[in-house]
Structure 1
Amino acid sequence: MAASPALLSLSLAPAVSRHPHLLFSSTHSPRHLRLALPSASSSSSPSPSPSPSPRGGGVFLSPSALSQLDALAAFRYAHSFPHGILTVRALTAPDDAEADALVGLLASSFAEDVRWAPAQRYAQLLAFVIRRYLHERRGLAPHAAVLVGFYKPAVAEEGEEGEDGEDEGEMACTAEVSLDAVGAPGAPPTPTPPLEFPYICNMTVKTSLRRRGIGKQLLKACEDLAVKMDAKRRVYLHCRIIDQIPFNMYKKAGYEVVQTDSIFVWLSLQKRKHLMRKELPQVASGSNFTTIDFDDNVLMN
């Protein structure tokens, strides 16, 4: 696990995106859902706040927001390792197999931190909660995005991907990026980050693919998305005090500790966390964005 989860502090009031390029679909998920928007949003949001639909079934998006939604759908971040290639993109069109893989990846990651519950029953509960949470979050695009990364071993690059070249490989990682106050989690972990700034959370790498540099590239992809979506350049995330490897990675990537949980947070059965932030560099429009480089072999758990 990397950036500490906002997922388990979620509100179970899902929402449905009305954009055909960014859907998270499951045949078992409810369709009569309504989006609850924050009471106020930052004036510096990438686009005007969506207006509630008079029918209560979702939101209307301005032309500017629709343009950003297309930009989010087109977002791609790729990195080649000696051992394979990673491609990161926003969660896209309905695909039950992809949805199941993402839910399974997040459920197994969160379940790693729980020792008091029967593993199978707890994993089932997590899968149910996560699936509904993702429905809620996708309805906030383009103010928030769920990124998914796919890894293809180097062997597969040498002619095994087929003629169409569309085989992305296996789902390797995921992260969520809130870009402004509209897309901010309803109940973020403490210490509470400023809602109007980009916030990275629910970041994890598949267990079998850890310590290959994938986590670092996923973090870069999140930062790249914030820049390309014209969000504010100060990015926040949480890191648990006990997670020394992720903490070292964030420090090396340019993040600094802003605040740390009080020791009394243990009374609420939570682990103490650092709130960390990074100032992303200002770049000219249309230019490529590159984060601070560091060792690909150093990866969080």
Structure 2
Amino acid sequence: MAAATLSLSFSLDPQHQLPHHFCCGTHFKPHQTLLFNSPTPLPKYPLLLNPKSDRYIVKSSSSSSPPSPSTTAPDTEPEPEPELASPYLVDTLGTGRFLTNEELEKLKFLEGFSYSLELESGILWVRVMRAEEMDMTIALLAESFAESMVLPTAYDTLLRFFIKQYLIERRALMPHAVTLVGFFRKKKQDNAGEEDEEEEAEELAGTVEVSFDKRGANTSPPTPTPPKNAPYICNMTVKHQLRRRGIGWHLLKASEELISQMSSTREVYLHCRMIDEAPFNMYIKAGYHVVKTDTILILLMLQRRKHLMCKKLPVVMSPVESDEEWR
């Protein structure tokens, strides 16, 4: 596969979201099995923040009658409040914005999202990036960007700083946008070339970013500009040592699977630089077509010409719609 490519632009304004785009991938057919897990949505209760701790709890406020007198002993500890087991709420609620019931359900769905399959050379699984995985994701994106733009190593620290600020801002937009990470575990082989039952430790293999609607869209998207209210895939990269294994292809498939469950809009967009032949061929194989292409004038801005590509996904009932149907 051709070398990975990345296009990234920065702003010194901390309120300005960092638009950047990456195209990477190679076509691969799955070897054995594919699993997709979608958890049960959250109950529709208002979300309250406990000011005395870092726990986020769910309380029901449907009853307006006063509480009955307590019959428990004075030294009995009160029953603990039920916790909302979603680590993604810490970053989301830190912005101070109100979360609707639909957003809570989607956050719970993202927490349990899993796309996994067995490849010829190992096992790949894709899920939402966790807070403790941000540093390794930053390192992977910085490495890919420096490789594609041939940047000197002196820019590495500054590059990682900007990428970290961007990922923090994007993570706070969940469930309207999300960063996915793919982990890969190689199969061991003995001297005769036969597969061993044991497997090597997993490692971060790639990452991709998905926005689902207008609230998750970048404020300054690359050109040609995609519709802001449509799902958008960007910043996809695969670790250099793990390319040509189909990981890029399945990062794309995982993104489409998640979009089908999270968005009612069926048209998904992405960008691909004109010089990136391998990713372009992968997108064509995946069913994308060119909608618009940058004019040659974009070269005056020291940018590569890009294709805006689009694909119409099949209709799949979202977890929120499915939950409403049974009520």
Give TM-score scaled by structure 1 length: 0.74
- Partner of 2:146 in structure 1? 111
Residue identity (%) = 50
- Partner of 1:29 in structure 2? none
Give the unaligned 5+ runs of structure 2: 18-55, 57-83, 190-195, 320-327
Matched, 1:226 2:254: no
Q: Is the 8 A contact 1:4 1:237 kept in 2?
A: no
Q: Is the 8 A contact 1:3 1:203 kept in 2?
A: no
Q: 1:266 to 1:14 in 2, by over 3 A?
A: closer
Q: Deviations over 1:225-270 (max 9, x none)?
A: 1011134110000000000000000001000000000101011110
The 1-side partners of 2:292 and 2:95 are apart by 39
Residue 284 of structure 1 deviates from its aligned partner by 4.9
Q: Is the 8 A contact 2:234 2:270 kept in 1?
A: yes
The 2-side partners of 1:23 and 1:148 are apart by 18
Q: 1:243 to 1:24 in 2, by over 3 A?
A: farther
Q: Is the 8 A contact 1:3 1:238 kept in 2?
A: no
Matched, 1:60 2:62: no
Residue 23 of structure 1 deviates from its aligned partner by 7.2
Q: Superposed, which structure 2 residues align to 1:37-76 within 5 Å?
A: 57-76=95-114
Amino acid at match of 2:211: S
Give TM-score scaled by structure 2 length: 0.69
Q: Residue 188 of structure 2: SS of its match in structure 1?
A: helix
Q: 1:113 to 1:268 in 2, by over 3 A?
A: same
- Partner of 2:240 in structure 1? 207
More strand by share: 2
- Partner of 2:118 in structure 1? 80
- Partner of 2:87 in structure 1? 21
Amino acid at match of 1:230: S
Residue 123 of structure 1 deviates from its aligned partner by 1.7
- Partner of 2:297 in structure 1? 264
Q: Is the 8 A contact 1:180 1:231 kept in 2?
A: no
Amino acid at match of 1:104: A
Q: 1:160 to 1:121 in 2, by over 3 A?
A: same
Q: Superposed, which structure 2 residues align to 1:246-257 within 5 Å?
A: 246-257=279-290
The 2-side partners of 1:228 and 1:203 are apart by 20
Q: Superposed, which structure 2 residues align to 1:145-160 within 5 Å?
A: 145-155=178-188, 158-160=197-199
Q: Deviations over 1:144-189 (max 9, x none)?
A: 000000000123983457xxxxx7x100000000000000011110
Residue 3 of structure 1 deviates from its aligned partner by 8.4
- Partner of 1:243 in structure 2? 276
Q: Is the 8 A contact 1:24 1:138 kept in 2?
A: no
Q: 1:158 to 1:236 in 2, by over 3 A?
A: same
Q: Superposed, which structure 2 residues align to 1:89-108 within 5 Å?
A: 89-92=127-130, 94-95=131-132, 98-108=133-143
Amino acid at match of 1:189: P
Q: Deviations over 1:12-64 (max 9, x none)?
A: 3389xx99422799xxxxxxxxx9xxxxxxxxxxxxxxxxx9xx943110111
Q: Is the 8 A contact 1:88 1:218 kept in 2?
A: yes
Give the unaligned 5+ runs of structure 1: 26-34, 36-52, 162-166, 287-301
Q: Residue 308 of structure 2: SS of its match in structure 1?
A: strand
Q: Which has the larger radius of gyration?
A: 2
The 1-side partners of 2:199 and 2:313 are apart by 38
Q: Is the 8 A contact 2:231 2:263 kept in 1?
A: no
The 1-side partners of 2:139 and 2:90 are apart by 14
Q: Is the 8 A contact 1:90 1:148 kept in 2?
A: yes
Over aligned residues, Cα RMSD in angstroms? 2.7
Matched, 1:124 2:124: no
